[in-house]
Structure 1
C-alpha cells in the first residue's frame, strides 16, 4: 500500500506540467467532494494490524488557499490481538486545510498542511463491546488539479489519540470541484446587455420615458412627454389654438371657451285669459326673437310660457305649455328658424312677475318669454 501511495505522489508530480501553458489561477471558491483509499497504521499499543480502507469527504474552498472539509474513513476487518477479535473501524473528522500555492510556483500543483479533530469507533465482532476514542490531527500532502474541476491529492496524517497512542493515516483521493475558478487575464463575466429601446420613436429611451405611447411626430421634452407650449393642458400636437393666454379655459382642442350668460330677449307677449293663439299685434315682438337668433347663429333659445293664478294648477300648466309651443311654431313656420335651435317649456303659474291679486298683475303674468345663452 505504501508503494502505491508513493506512486500516486509521483503521478501528481508528473501531472504538474499539465497546465503549464494555462493562465495562473488567481482564486478558487466553492463546494467540492472526493473519494479515495487509505491505509490506517495504528499505534502498537492498540495491538491492531494495519488495514486498507475507503474514504470520502465534502468540503468548501473559501479561496485558493483555505479550505474546510469533513471526512469519513471506513477500515474493515482489522484484527485486535489484545482481545482476539476482528473489528471494523469508522473514522470521522473535520479538517482545516491551508494550500501553499507559491511553493512550487504553480497554482495547479501545490503542497498543503492541515489540522483537525476526529473520532475512531471500533466495531468489534460479537461478544465484544464497541470502543470509541478521539484524536487531534496534523497532516501534510500534495494536491494537483488536472483541470479546473478534477483534482487529486496524496497525503499523510498524524493522529494524536492521547493515551491510546499516535496513529498514522496515508491516503490518496480523487475529487471534483463544483465551485468557480478565477484565472489571471480571464475576461470578466459580462451579462449581455439588453438593447436600449425607444418603443414610441420619440427619441427618448423607454427607460427614461415617462410618457410611453406618444404619437409619432409629436414634439416631446427630455422625459418623452408631449410639449404643451402654452400651458393650457392640451399637448401641442393636438392643440388647434396654440398660444392661448395663461389661465384661459379651453376645450379638448385647446381653444378658448367663452363663458356663457343667459339673456332674456325683450319679447312682450301677453295673452288674453285662457288664450294661446298668436294675434297679429304679437308678430313684431316675435320678430325680435327671430332677428336675435339670426344675429347669433350658434345660439339656441328656449321659449317659456306662463299663466296667471286663475284656474287649477294642472290646467294652468297645460295652458303655459300651449303658449310656449305656439310661439315656437310661429318662429319655425313664419321666420324660418331651425326647429333644432328652439325648445318650449311651460311653467304654469309658478313664476309670476306681478301681483295676481290685481287684474293688471294677472295680465302681465299671462305671457311668453324667450331665453337664450350668449357668449360674454
Structure 2
C-alpha cells in the first residue's frame, strides 16, 4: 500500500498536559471597621450616649456564580460611651447577598444584622464595596454601609477595609499536544476544521482584530485594512478688474471650493497670494495686490467661517508676472489672487 507524509492537525490528541488552577468556591475575609452611631443615640441616657466604634471581624463568602455571592459576617466592636469617658464592647453578626458588577471590582450588597452592644436590636443594611485582586488567591476590599435599626428606628453608618483569601478545588484543564508529522499508510481520512470569516476578508474571526472590514478592502495578517497615503489639493485663481480689489460675483464658486476643502481637511492652512499687472508704479501695485489678497481672506473668514489662524495673505505686486507683454490681455492675466493648498489623507487599499 502506497504511503505518503501528512501532518495531523486535529485528529491526534494523546496524554494531554495538565494546567492547574483554582476552581474558586469560597472566600474568607478579615477586616477592620468603623461604626458611626446615629446622633440620636449620642444624646440618650438609655443608650449610654453611645458614639462611634472600631472593631475587627471575619466574613465567609460562598461564590455562587460570576454575579452573586452569599456572605456570613461576625464582628466585635469597641464603642465610646458616656461622652467618650467610657467604653463598651459589642458584637454584630448577620447575612448579606452580594451582586458583583462585571469587570469593575465594584459590588453592591444588602442583608440583615443582629447588633448586641448597649442594647440588642435587629437591622437591615445596604452598601457598596470595591475589590482589588492582588493575585489569584488574595485581594483587598473596602465597603461603605448604612444600617437601619428596625427595632428602635435609628440609622448607623459603617466603613470597612480588609483582605480576602479565595480557595476551592484544584482543577486541571487539558492542553492538546502540538501536531506531529509522520508517515502513515494511505487510508481514508476525513478532517475538517471550519474557521469562520464573518466579514469575508480572508482572515478567520479568531485572528481578525478588525471586525466588519468591507470585503473589497485589502487587509493585513490581523484582518485590519491597509492604507495608502494619497495627496489631495485644490487651486484658487481669482481675476480682478483693472485698478480694483473688488471680488467678482462669478468667482464666488472658486472661493467656495477652497472653503469647502479647508472644512473637510481641518489641519490645513493656506497663503493667499495677491498679484498685479505691470501698469502703474511698483509701490502702488504692491499695495493693490495686498488689498486683493486681503479681500479674499476676509471673504473666507466672514462668509465661509474659516478660522483666521489658518489663513495668511501676502501681496507680491508686479514681481511675479505670468505674462510680460503690454496688451490688455496680458494685464488681465496678471491681475489675480491665487492659492494652492494640499493635504495628505489615508485611503483604504481596494482589491483589484
Structure with bigger helix share is: 1
- Between the two structures, name the one with larger relative contact order (CA 8 Å, sep ≥ 6): 2
Q: Shared fold by TM > 0.5?
A: no
Which structure is higher in strand share? 2
TM-score (ref. length: structure 2): 0.38
Higher Cα radius of gyration:
1
| TM-score under structure 1 length normalisation | 0.36
